[in-house]
Structure 1
Amino acid sequence: MTSKRFWDWFIIPGGVWIALLFAVPLCLVLALSFGHVDDFGRGVYGFQLDNYKDVFDATYIPVLLRSVGYALATVILCLLIGYPVAYFIGRYGGRYRYALLAALVIPFFVNYL
């Protein structure tokens, strides 16, 4: 067994993890989006495009545009802040590079507490 083939096996647990916790729920939500809600409030699988037609109703257009605007503003703000910070850490971080990276990443783990 070559060294490369040995390390290729390590992608299997990550692939299974992504499939179970990301792809499967995403496919379930997509399948439910074509269905409808019954009298008890449960999602019923089926195929109808009424839900997607309702998105472009005059009532929901302002909400849709506002959501797209917020998403665009967030992307621009992240780019304007993220690239200079990454450049600074990469260029001038020196021996504190890993400490600075940890200071940036650790707050993302707060929701696991």
Structure 2
Amino acid sequence: MEPVTIGAKHYSYTAYQSAQIIKPSDNVAGVIIRTGVFSGPAGSFISTGTAAATGSTDSTKPMLMYLPTANVLQQLQYPIYLPPGYGLWANSSSYLVTYITYDLLA
């Protein structure tokens, strides 16, 4: 098994209802999310796209993580590439603990 590279940037935050993690305008050449750990109430999710998702049933935006059960720690299983112009958002009915590391590509 290969070691996982930790990203040069990080986001460690407890978001209340919603938070923008990466702005689409900051992503000019792509982003690699290296690690991610999430916990919160059932129905919380992490989404990406050129704009924020309107809710967990918004099928026009990619969901990177969905928490079907409350307060069960979820972890990304592999690095994820976000194309240029895509942002990253955390959404929850109350709070969502989010820890990620990432690299902005040049």
| Structure of higher RCO (CA pairs closer than 8 Å, 6+ residues apart) | 2
Q: Which has more helix, going by share of residues?
A: 1
Q: TM-score, normalised by structure 2?
A: 0.16
Q: Which has more strand, going by share of residues?
A: 2
Structure having the higher Rg: 1
